[in-house]
Amino acid sequence: MHTISQEDKKIILDSIRDIPDFPKKGIIFKDISTLLSNPKSLNTLMTHLENRYKTYELDYIAGIDARGFIFGSILADRLGLGFVTIRKKGKLPYTTVAEKYSLEYGFDEVEVHIDAFGDNGCCQTGTPAKVLLIDDLIATGGTAVAATNLINKVGAKCVEVCFVMELGFLNGRKEIDAPVYSVLEID
């Protein structure tokens, strides 16, 4: 299993801008737009992920709306795999399966096409499709739990959930029913 060097971690972390008091006072927002606009940092991240996942024998990469789409589609292209979008409710045009998750005040929902990973979630060999789920950040984990449940609900298998950053002090990984890998851990 490929691990990231301290030097590469520093390149990635140094490219992420901190925005104090956004979206509200007391929060330090981790802005990845500066990572995306820095070719060296983005290439460092994506090369690490490519090296990590090239031996996993994956069938698909799935990304969570919307920043997971960026990292997931680049990784899928590098690995020669299909990319599947897990979207917020009402954004997908075909028959979907949905999963609700809790927010601080209420609920939200994510969806995936019923056939996103092949018929009954199976690849051409008839076995459940092996899927890597990716997103930019894990905080409380609600969206990732819902997305993992969706992948499994349509018959595929979520083999790992990958995040660029993890806010470890929120312990969001504890409810995810799959192995979790975070490139950067922020405490």
Q: What are the residue numbers of the active site?
A: 67, 104
Count of helices and strands (H, E) across the chain:
5, 9
* Alpha-carbon separation of residue 55 from 29, 82, 145 (angstroms): 34, 16, 25
Do the beta carbons of residue 27 and residue 11 sit within 8 Å?
no
Q: Is 140 helix (H, G, I), strand (E, B) or coil?
A: coil
Closest CA to 176 of 155, 162, 186: 162
Buried b (16+ CB within 10 A) or exposed e, 134-170: bbbbbbbbbbbbbbbbbbbebbbbbbbbbbbbbbeee
